[in-house]
Amino acid sequence: MASTATTSQDIPPPEFRELGRRDFDPVWEEMKQWTLARSGDESDRIWQVEHPPVFTLGLAGKREHVLAPGDIPVIDIDRGGQVTYHGPGQLVVYPLINLRRLKLGVRALVEALEQAVIDTLAGYGIDAANRRDAPGVYVEGRKIAALGLRVRNGCTYHGLAFNVNMDLEPFQRINPCGYEGLEVTQVTDLGGPADPMTVWRDLQPHLLRRLGYPTP
């Protein structure tokens, strides 16, 4: 009897969408509603977006980690994790993916996203690593990418914030991801490209490979 098991070649490749610079709230609502309406047969989507300055506080977030937001809004949202900052020059990636179809658990998804960032940075000669105790990607102890996800009906939204070429000062107004004194860094300060779209295009093949999609 022929096997009916799903292989990577049976999985449709994701649709990459570039949203430009958009406010956080409408993008959050759009990805949430699209995820809740999924039938399971449609292709996954991976969105790229840049947000105006905003702090987002996850489900486990504590207001005490928001030290001095000033004129930057703070939004309580439905992803995991603590507080982080989004702003111009940051590459934000939202993988709207069907975990069941890819046969991925949440921990495996987190590690795949982290490793895609690590692979991309390696291409720029930047040595990065993840941490089992604190999701994200780090360069010499400084955080360069943060992750926060929500899973509904076996599908994900929210995702990855990758610092490329931004004003890092707002990170001093919070305890990033709930860690007091955690330093952050970005690609351009480490000798990599200054254009987030260049990093985005370099990241895409690593995302496909690490998430288990068929590659050309």
Q: For residue 134, say whether it is annotated as part of any ligand binding site.
A: no
Q: For residue 94, say whether it is annotated as part of any ligand binding site.
A: no
The Cα 177–Cα 179 span in angstroms is 6
Q: For residue 181, say whether it is annotated as part of any ligand binding site.
A: no
Q: For residue 40, say whether it is annotated as part of any ligand binding site.
A: no
Q: For residue 148, say whether it is annotated as part of any ligand binding site.
A: yes
The Cα 130–Cα 139 span in angstroms is 9
Please say if 177 is a catalytic residue: yes
Q: Do the Cβ atoms of 104 and 149 come closer than 8 Å?
A: no
Q: For residue 191, say whether it is annotated as part of any ligand binding site.
A: no
Q: For residue 9, say whether it is annotated as part of any ligand binding site.
A: no
Short-list 193, 195, 184, CA closest to 85: 184
Q: For residue 146, say whether it is annotated as part of any ligand binding site.
A: yes
Q: For residue 83, say whether it is annotated as part of any ligand binding site.
A: yes
**CA-based end-to-end distance of the chain:** 29
- Tell me which of 49, 113, 144, 177 is the catalytic residue: 177
Element (H, E) at 208: helix 196-211
Collapsing DSSP states into helix, strand and coil, what is residue 111? helix
The Cα 216–Cα 208 span in angstroms is 10
Q: Dig out the tokens for 140 from the structure.
A: 């010499």
* Dihedral sign for Cα atoms in the order 134, 44, 90, 24: negative
Q: For residue 161, say whether it is annotated as part of any ligand binding site.
A: yes
Q: Annotated catalytic sites, by residue? A: 177
Binding residues for substrate: 79-86, 146-148, 159-161
Binding residues: 79-86, 146-148, 159-161
